[in-house]
Amino acid sequence: MARILIVEDEDRIAAFVAKGLRAEGHVTTVCADGRLGLEAALADEHDLMILDIGLPGLSGFQVLEQLRDQGSRMPVIVLTARGSVTDTVTALEGGADDYMAKPFRFAELVARVRVRLRQHAVESVSDAADALQVGGVHLDLRTRRATVGGRQVELSAREFTLAETFMTNAGQVLSREQLLDRVWGLDFDPGSNVVDVYVGYLRRKFGAAAITTVRGMGYRFNV
Ligand code: CA
């Protein structure tokens, strides 16, 4: 189930699309005016927008432009007039995710809605994985930088990977073997105390309380 905003001033098309999407289990909102459509889109209560180009108030292009200017990454499928290559190109360059030329078959619209929703969900998850935050410790996975309480701390590549492994599994006990396997791979001397040494390094940088030794089991990064 997704919440779908339909911005279309032709009642017949809006009703047809809304009815069909509701039959697919979605919740729909219809706006017949570009300005109201933009307002509704910016309210961040919808998962996807179906946007007509020729609209009163603001054109579909203007709605799209202002939506993207405001930083919204909501998936947008634009409805264009058949054969209007210029409209299609302008829409895609303006940040539309997809387009449908009118008249279109409903099954095709449903398929495109499904693809866009799925893709957006995947992108949202990978965005969320650009950073990890547990307690006061923040890891930026893109720049490989760490801060503790907003203060930057220097981590070696190995320390960073160890911190990332701990924080991805915060609250869980990880054994020395699991940590060796995930952080050092084959690149270690079995029987070495490298994990204990590096946990010591992280404790010095993150605070001793960040990582607890669980006797006989391993270590836990505290939430
Ligand atoms: Ca129209």
Domain spans in the chain, listed from the N-terminal domain onward: 3-125, 129-221
Give dist(CA 3, CA 5) in Å, integer.
7
Predicted confidence at residue 181, as pLDDT, reads: 81
CA of 158 to the centre of ligand 1 (A): 57
Q: Decide: pTM greater than 0.75.
A: no
Question: What is the sign, positive or negative, of the torsion defined by CA atoms of 92, 94, 96, 101?
Answer: negative
Query: 83 CA to middle of ligand 1, Å?
Result: 15
Q: What is the torsion angle, in degrees rounded to the nearest 10, for the CA atoms of residue 51, residue 4, residue 98 and residue 71?
A: 80
pLDDT score for 90: 86
Confidence check: pLDDT of 188 > 90: no
Q: Are 135 and 222 in contact (CB under 8 A)?
A: yes
- Residue 59 CA to ligand 1 center (angstroms) comes to 9
Rounded CA separation 192/158 (Å)? 16
Three-state SS at 181: helix
Does the N-terminal peptide bond of residue 75 adopt cis geometry, omega within 30 degrees of 0?
no
Cα–Cα distance for residue pair 31/8, rounded to 1 Å: 6
Length of the chain: 223
Fold classified for 3-125: Rossmann fold (3.40.50)
Q: Which residue has the tokens 């933009």?
A: 38
Is residue 122 scored above 90 in pLDDT?
no
For 57, the token pair is 């108030």
Given pLDDT bands bounded at 50, 70 and 90, which one contains residue 125?
low
Q: What pLDDT does 187 receive?
A: 67
| Tally: H helices and E strands in the chain | 8, 12
Which amino acid, residue 65? E
* pLDDT at 190 (0 to 100): 65
Rounded to the nearest angstrom, the distance between the alpha carbon of 56 and the centre of ligand 1 is 8
For residues 75 and 93, the model is more confident at 75
> What percent of the chain lies above the pLDDT cut of 70?
94
* Interval 201-218 mean pLDDT: 94
81 alpha carbon – ligand 1 mean position (Å): 9
pLDDT of residue 19: 94
Question: Residue with structure tokens 């105390």?
Answer: 193
Whether 13 shows a pLDDT value over 70: the answer reads: yes
pLDDT tier, 127 (very low <50, low <70, confident <90, very high otherwise): low
pLDDT at 56 over 90: yes
User: Is 80 exceeded by the pLDDT of residue 185?
Assistant: no
Q: Does 77 score more than 90 pLDDT? A: yes
pLDDT-derived band at 162 (thresholds 50, 70, 90) equals very high
- Report the candidate in 42, 43, 107, 88 with the shortest Cα–Cα distance to residue 69: 42
CA–centroid distance, 8 to ligand 1, in Å, is: 6
- Cα(109) to centroid(ligand 1), Å: 17
How many A from CA of 60 to the centre of ligand 1?
9
- The pLDDT score that the predictor gives to residue 15 is 95
Question: Which pLDDT does position 223 carry in this prediction?
Answer: 82
Taking the centre of ligand 1 as the mean of its atom positions, its distance from the CA of residue 35, in whole angstroms, is: 13
Angle subtended at Cα 110 by Cα 106 and Cα 113, rounded to the nearest 5 degrees = 135
CB atoms within 10 A of CB 16: 16
Note the CATH number of domain 129-221: 1.10.10.10
Section 150-179 average pLDDT? 91
Judged against a pLDDT cut of 80, whether residue 155 lies above it is answered with yes
Asked whether the beta carbons of 182 and 165 are under 8 A apart, the reply is yes
Q: CA-CA distance, 196 to 209, in Å (whole number)?
A: 15
Tell me what the pLDDT averaged over the chain comes to. Answer: 90
